[in-house]
Amino acid sequence: MKEPTVDLALAREHGLTEDEFNRVVEILGRMPSFTELGIFSVMWSEHCSYKSSIKYLKRLPREGEHVLAKAGEENAGALDIGDGKAVVFKIESHNHPSALEPYQGAATGVGGILRDIFSMGARPIAAMDSLRFGELSDPKQQHLFNGVVEGIAGYGNCFGVPTVGGEVVFDSAYNGNCLVNAMAVGIADSGKLMPAKASGTGNPVFILGATTGRDGIHGATFASVELSDKSAEDRSSVQIGDPFLEKLLLEATLEIIDKGLAVGIQDMGAAGITCSGSEMAAGGGVGIELDLDRVPLREEGMIPYEILLSESQERMLIVGIAGREAELRAVAEKWELNIEQIGEVTEGDRFVCRWHGDVVCDIPADSLVLGGGAPVYNRPFAKPANIDIVRGRDTAITTDREPLELLESLLAMPTIASKRWVFEQYDHQVGTNTVVKPGTDSALVRVKGTSKFLAISTDCNGRYCALDPYAGAMQAVAESARNVVAVGAWPIGITNCLNFGNPEKPESYWQFVRAVEGMGDACRALNVPVTGGNVSFYNESQNGAIYPTPVIGMLGIVDGAENIIPQHFSDGLEIFVVGKSAKDEFGGSSLQKLLHREPFGLPPKVDMDDEIANARFIHTARDEGFIEACHDISDGGIGVAVAESCIWGNVGAELTIPDGRSAIDYLFGESQGRYLIAVKADNIDNVNHLAKNNDIYIELLGSCGGSSLTIHFKKRARSAEIESLKCAFESAIPNAMKGEI
């Protein structure tokens, strides 16, 4: 087959601008071949090159005493947790594929993030996700939600990794563009981390795992444009996964690393062989030459363009060691996997591919990659024209509805309601490491062979970010930290998945820039490094852009089972609020959404000094033996937090609203930096004394007991049975999926 003639029109069809095409010609000193044009188009796509984001991502804090692999250096971030162990973790998006093929889009998102983890030599011990859809009353959103959850469950359960939690948000802002962000966490021996770099001239290059087909071609480019009515035509850009094959690939990869049979490994995700080959060559400062005739294919008639750009799943590119090829093949045969030597490491810096004896690609590897010759843009940005008007609206809540009636309505909102319908489809116990199950502030998994436990959380409030992306991103970091603190852990690092609209639109780009600044400032205050993650732009449709959604994947560590803090209340305990509850903090709140649908006003203020001080107080009180339970106060405020802890503990509570505060303002305002703690009656004085000595604001809210939630305010008392609140909380999503809302 003769390759098409390359010109500017064809380059534009591939997503390259005129300037980018001219730069390609300049780099090569000639017109590119059709295959080379495809290679540049995927490697310079937003998805692979981060050309609109890298300038700002470099400003994030990446240093830390425990950091073993910094952001951007390897397939995932890695932190030393002691005892000769490293935790490897990362979060990535699979938004556009999931919008078209929800099952396979979500499934291959899980498969891809797992490969990022075990390609470094870490055995995955937990998966988590952050999902966003339109309103659940819409049948289309029900279809997407159902398919995505089935895809996550289908892949994770069959692969054998526990999906231990996450978050699910429903909002009309995501009607045209759902978000599917997948996170994975693994444990490795800290001295055996495998780099994603090629080295050693003459070392063989192998492809291990699945055969290569036409699925997923140009998936990276597809992920770098807005969704439209024609996006359904791009279904071939969605890959197809096989979790059983990936399980074999996991075991083979870890055995290869354990036996020292490779010098570099990279999984084949976006842009397939092209990305893994060029990035490994550039990372190692060497060349790689591949013979495409030797790539195992599953379809007849594939041309170099298709072979190099295919995103077929469950494949690894492995740089072996000359003279040990037979040992490498033996491991593959043991696990019944295809393995084929398709090239070798060469001197120089070229990424060269041959087909039928002809050179079809000869490109300087560094010119293709992020941090090398890929474009870096300093795009214009501007604050949205109407944002000051939206922020200026009064957020004070005026309603005739009773507090407990509002509480029941909040608990029935799908975003707040129990996600049992979701997590019961996941096998969250496989591996027997899960200590705290899905549905609470943070999942908790044990690190076998040590006394340590990892707390894992994902978090972001897109409504806050829509009003103020700087404060919203800072809040996402702060709340994800509170989530791990509340179970007894201390934050040690984050990964992020930054979901935004079209960066070529100044208002969307302004949201991105401000969010990265807020995230960076919060992480510096907490002294936690950003170990990596993913940027997902072009999350737009004919309905407009999504809310700016910088999802934070937080990792914390608890040393000793005795230091884990439960989340549920129990009979006879006294309830305190830790942290000040300001008035009228309803901007972007759940109650505002319930009553007004759209966010307006300013989001709650975030004070990182208070966040840190309150977190330290929680841990000091825990160390002193004063705390019996703890829960972060977030969406829905104190009211929802109390109700959740009561429902989890199957116990009632009696609360008294402080003098001078309206019940609705106090119960449902979303002031930041706060926790609920439950203590024994004989520790009330101890807790008060500890708070006073550390200048921490706390107030006694009430006590646990009985079977109802009773609220005293303005010399009145109102009660609701916990069973009734539990019914609203537990039935909301199942009923919605039956079409009963």
User: Among all residues, which ones are annotated catalytic?
Assistant: 47, 94
452-459 and 443-446: which strand pairing?
antiparallel
| SS3 sequence of 680-717 | CHHHHHHHHHHHHHCCCCEEEEEEECCCEEEEEECCEE
Is residue 175 within 8 A of residue 135, CB to CB? The reply is yes
CA distances to 5, 205, 331, 693 from 208, rounded to whole Å, are 33, 10, 10, 60
Beta strand spans in 385-478 (E): 434-436, 443-446, 452-459
Query: Residue holding tokens 């063989």?
Result: 204
Strands 530-536 and 490-499: parallel
Answer left, alpha or beta for residue 267, where phi above 0 means left and psi between -120 and 50 means alpha: beta
Residue 737 backbone class (left: φ over 0; alpha: ψ -120 to 50; beta: rest) = alpha
Residues 280 and 195 sit within 8 Å (Cβ to Cβ): no
SS3 738: coil
**DSSP code at position 351:** E
- 113's enclosing H/E stretch is helix 102-118
DSSP 73: T
Work out the number of other CB atoms within 10 angstroms of the CB of residue 422.
23
State how far the Cα of 189 lies from the Cα of 167, in Å rounded to an integer: 30
3-state secondary structure of 674: coil
3-state helix/strand/coil string of 516-572: HHHHHHHHHHHCCCEEEEEEECCCEECCEECCCEEEEEEEEEEECHHHCCCCCCCCC
Contact 492, 528 (CB under 8 A): yes
DSSP calls for 183-240: EEEEEEEGGGPPPS---STT-EEEEEESPB-STTTTHHHHTTS---TTGGGGGGGS--
Give, as one character, the DSSP assignment of residue 740. -
Long-range contacts of 236-239 (CB under 8 A, 24+ apart): 237/96, 237/97, 237/100, 237/311, 238/97, 238/100, 238/101, 238/104, 238/105, 238/108, 239/97, 239/104, 239/108, 239/215, 239/311, 239/312, 239/313
In this structure, which amino acid lies at residue 20?
Answer: E
Cβ pair 590, 636 in contact under 8 A: yes
How wide is the angle at C-alpha 335 spanned by C-alphas 333 and 338, nearest 5°? 55
The C-alpha atoms of residue 462 and residue 413 are separated, in whole angstroms, by: 16
Residues in the chain: 741
| Residue reference for tokens 């907490």 | 526
